[in-house]
Amino acid sequence: MSQPVADIGPGILLIDKPDGITSAGVVNRVKRALKALKVGHAGTLDPFATGLLICCIDHATRLARFFLETDKIYRATLHLGVETDTGDSTGRVEAKNFSPPLSEFSGGMISEERICSAFQQFVGKISQVPPAFSALKHQGIPLYRWARRGKTIQKPPRIVTIHRLTVLDIDFPRVRFEVSCSSGTYIRSLGTDVGRALGCGGHLSQLRRIQSGRFHVDEAIPLGVLEETAAIGRLRERIIPMASALKGWPELAVGDTVAEKVRYGRPISADDIPTGCVGVPENDLTTCIKVIDEKGALLALLHRNGKGGYGYCGVFGNQA
């Protein structure tokens, strides 16, 4: 059994995922390259999709839920006129040439303005039906496995938010667009819905995640050079420390006495933290505060408990 790489430590590794591999497959390759004990990811990308995948190493897997909840930005290509059962190019064709026929698009009867207008219908809070081919589970089994067995499980609609939706280029029958959206938005479903709004159907032929929260794909290492970078001992430079990964969060540096309490998840009172040091209003019981030791290592995440003390959002202990 391989031993963990001692000088890597817990943290975040940003991967630029290629197409043709699952998110779980990326995680396995990262785990082997780092010889890490534990690796997880914060937000699944479909096998046909590319782009930013946030990988959490060892203790940092406990931060994954915070990255999952952040807004995302995608760039995608919608292929008009053909609808598939998966909503992307890997699926089985279910319908072609909706009404009006595609010739009306190429002949100019349906203008670019109409296409742009159809996209704008989906800006704001919308109700979205998750695709049958997704990682959502029914009776503990992912929906895509049910679908492959010939049984389509329809999950109830969910409310998501499309902050911005911009058409970048129209080269009929393909429309390139960029979308900024809330966590939990299915871009495949969005593409299907836009195609139906136009009356011709559609599916995604390309999908790329370019941003998740504050992280951008330009900061990521391509999966193809992962092992090479690890082999020459340069992968450590790509690991983002846990405290740095939460850049912009309220921060509290504590001395040894309080740090010892925090490491073991012991109760923290107002007496342990001087008034005014936190920077979070006393009536704010939801904002998490990152607690670091004198070396800058993340010890825990706290929130005010409304009783003059603090509760824990997560404890990370000694990461040395």
Average pLDDT estimate for 291-303: 90
Six token digits for residue 85: 């059962």
Which of 31, 5, 72, 92 has its CA nearest to residue 226? Answer: 31
Least confident of 49-53, 91-95, 165-169, 210-214: 91-95
Instruction: Say which residue the tokens 């060892």 belong to.
Output: 58
| CATH code reported for the domain at 11-70+215-243 | 3.30.2350.10
Q: Tens of pLDDT along 237-252?
A: 899 999 999 988 888 8
Greatest distance between any 2 Cα atoms in the chain: 75
Predicted confidence (pLDDT) at residue 149 exceeds the cutoff of 70: no
Q: Pick 160 or 130 by higher pLDDT.
A: 160
Whether CATH 2.30.130.10 fits 248-315 = yes
Q: What is the pLDDT of residue 54?
A: 97
Q: Tens of pLDDT along 14-66?
A: 999 999 999 999 999 999 999 888 999 998 998 899 999 999 999 899 999 99
Six token digits for residue 96: 């072609």
How is the chain split into domains, by residue range? 11-70+215-243, 72-207, 248-315
Cα–Cα distance for residue pair 44/55, rounded to 1 Å: 11
φ, ψ (nearest 5 deg) of residue 175: -125, 115
Q: Annotated catalytic residue: which of 46, 58, 193, 293?
A: 46
Average pLDDT estimate for 183-200: 93
Q: What is the pLDDT of residue 109?
A: 55
**Is the distance from CB of 108 to CB of 133 less than 8 angstroms?**
no
Predicted confidence (pLDDT) at residue 100 exceeds the cutoff of 60: no
Q: Tens of pLDDT along 55-77?
A: 999 989 999 999 999 999 999 99
Q: What is the pLDDT of residue 303?
A: 87
**Is the distance from CB of 168 to CB of 191 less than 8 angstroms?**
no
Q: What is the pLDDT of residue 236?
A: 86
Q: What is the pLDDT of residue 152?
A: 62
Which residues on adjacent β-strands are paired with residue 301? Answer: 290, 314
Question: Which architecture, in CATH terms, is 72-207?
Answer: 2-Layer Sandwich (3.30)
Q: What is the DSSP string of 11-41?
A: EEEEEEEPTTS-HHHHHHHHHHHHT-S-EEE
Predicted confidence (pLDDT) at residue 218 exceeds the cutoff of 90: yes
Least confident of 176-190, 197-211, 216-230, 258-272: 258-272
Per-residue confidence band for 314, with pLDDT thresholds at 50, 70 and 90: confident
**Is the distance from CB of 193 to CB of 100 less than 8 angstroms?**
no
Predicted confidence (pLDDT) at residue 296 exceeds the cutoff of 50: yes
**Is the distance from CB of 159 to CB of 181 less than 8 angstroms?**
no
Catalytic residue status for 284:
no
Predicted confidence (pLDDT) at residue 138 exceeds the cutoff of 50: no
Beta carbons within 8 Å of 128's beta carbon, 6+ residues apart = 157, 158, 159, 160, 185, 186, 189, 190, 193
Average pLDDT estimate for 192-202: 91
Instruction: Say which residue the tokens 């990461």 belong to.
Output: 319
Predicted confidence (pLDDT) at residue 166 exceeds the cutoff of 90: yes
Cα–Cα distance for residue pair 316/320, rounded to 1 Å: 11
Tell me which amino acid residue 69 is: E
Predicted confidence (pLDDT) at residue 99 exceeds the cutoff of 70: no
Please give the DSSP secondary-structure letter assigned to residue 65: H
Average model confidence (pLDDT) for the chain? 85
Beta carbons within 8 Å of 83's beta carbon, 6+ residues apart = 93, 94, 95, 96, 98, 192, 195, 196, 201, 202, 203
Cα–Cα distance for residue pair 278/283, rounded to 1 Å: 13
Predicted confidence (pLDDT) at residue 194 exceeds the cutoff of 50: yes
Coil, strand or helix: which one is 196? helix
Please give the DSSP secondary-structure letter assigned to residue 320: -
Least confident of 80-94, 147-161, 199-213, 303-317: 147-161
CA angle 288, 290, 292 (to 5 degrees): 165
Give me the torsion for CA of 98, 166, 213, 88, rounded to 10°.
20
Burial of 288 (C-beta count, 10 Å sphere; 0-12/13-18/19+): middle
pTM of this structure: 0.87
Per-residue confidence band for 320, with pLDDT thresholds at 50, 70 and 90: very low
Predicted confidence (pLDDT) at residue 197 exceeds the cutoff of 70: yes
How many residues are present in the chain? 320
Name the pairing type of β-strands 11-17 and 221-222. parallel
Please tell me which of 78-92, 94-108, 271-285 the model is most confident about, judged by mean pLDDT: 78-92
**Is the distance from CB of 53 to CB of 17 less than 8 angstroms?**
yes
Domain 72-207 in the same topology as domain 11-70+215-243: yes
